[in-house]
């Protein structure tokens, strides 16, 4: 038997949306998604399928998009998390949020937070060369409202505005 100490309750320190967050005695089964929603009170990331199939729970972990439902909270102690709540600067919306509004790229709102986070990452990764590439790299976010054309448009618009801001 291993010398490792296995525990069913875990203390965690995470930096969430630029705030150092200390959580005590978290059940070892808790997913990052449940941690955010149930323990931190950030309900932007949604619990859709809870199996990694829909993308509604997408958050940035150390700057990279992941499915929050498939991440064990205990495993990401010390890491940095950004949720949809962390994108805006006060009342100033993130350019991707602005583009989603301008392009009417959302409907019921359940998939939108994950779509927005994924779009932020998709642009940062540089996967916005054309509509096909955007569709491919946004395919991990499923929206039953079928607002895909507007979402592609929003990603294109936000990517263009981000590029405009890069000094030549």
Partner 1 sequence: MIPLTYARATTLDEALDAAHDPGTAVLAGGTELLNWLRLGITDADRVVDISRVPGLDRIEPLPGGGLRIGTLVRLNDVAAHPSVARDWPVLRMAIHKSASAQLRNLATIGANLLQKTRCAYFRSEEPVPCNRRVPGSGCAAREGHDDRHALFGWTDDCIATQPSDPAVALAALDAHVVTRTATGGRRIAVTEFHVLPADGVDRDTVLEPGELVEAIELDAPAPCSAYVKVRERESYEYAIVSAAVALRLRDDGVIDSARIALGSVAMRPWRLAEAERRVVGLAPDDDAVTSAIEAALAQARPVAGSAYKLAIARGAARRALMTAAGVRP
Binding interface with partner 1 (CB under 8 A): 1-8, 10, 28-29, 31, 50-52, 55, 58, 61, 64-67, 69-72, 74-75, 118, 121-122, 125, 127, 135-142
DSSP state of 121: H
State which residue, 57 or 99, has the beta carbon closest to partner 1. 57
Q: Between the CA atoms of 59, 123, 134 and 117, what dihedral angle is there, to the nearest 10 degrees?
A: 20
Minimum CB distance to partner 1, residue 41 (Å): 22
State which residue, 70 or 101, has the beta carbon closest to partner 1. 70
Minimum CB distance to partner 1, residue 132 (Å): 9
Minimum CB distance to partner 1, residue 92 (Å): 26
Give the bridge partners for 15, in sequence order. 20, 80
Report the length, in residues, of the chain: 168
Minimum CB distance to partner 1, residue 71 (Å): 6
CB count in 10 Å sphere of residue 131: 13
Tokens 């946004």 sit on residue: 138
State which residue, 61 or 103, has the beta carbon closest to partner 1. 61
Question: Could you tell me which residues come within 8 angstroms of residue 3 by beta carbon, excluding any fewer than 6 positions away?
Answer: none
């Amino acid at each position: 038997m291993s010398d490792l100490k296995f525990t069913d309750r875990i203390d965690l320190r995470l930096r969430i949306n630029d705030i150092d967050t200390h959580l005590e005695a978290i059940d070892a089964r808790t997913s990052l998604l449940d941690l955010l929603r149930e323990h931190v009170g950030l309900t932007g990331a949604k619990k859709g399928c809870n199996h990694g199939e829909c993308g509604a729970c997408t958050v940035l972990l150390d700057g990279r998009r992941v499915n929050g439902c498939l991440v064990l909270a205990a495993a990401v102690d010390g890491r940095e998390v950004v949720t949809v709540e962390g994108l805006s600067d006060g009342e100033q919306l993130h350019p991707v949020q602005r583009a989603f509004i301008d392009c009417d790229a959302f409907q019921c709102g359940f998939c939108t937070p994950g779509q927005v986070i994924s779009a932020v990452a998709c642009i940062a990764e540089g996967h916005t060369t054309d509509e096909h590439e955007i569709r491919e790299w946004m395919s991990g976010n499923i929206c039953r409202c079928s607002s895909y054309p507007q979402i592609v448009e929003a990603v294109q618009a936000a990517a263009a505005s981000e590029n405009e801001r890069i000094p030549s």
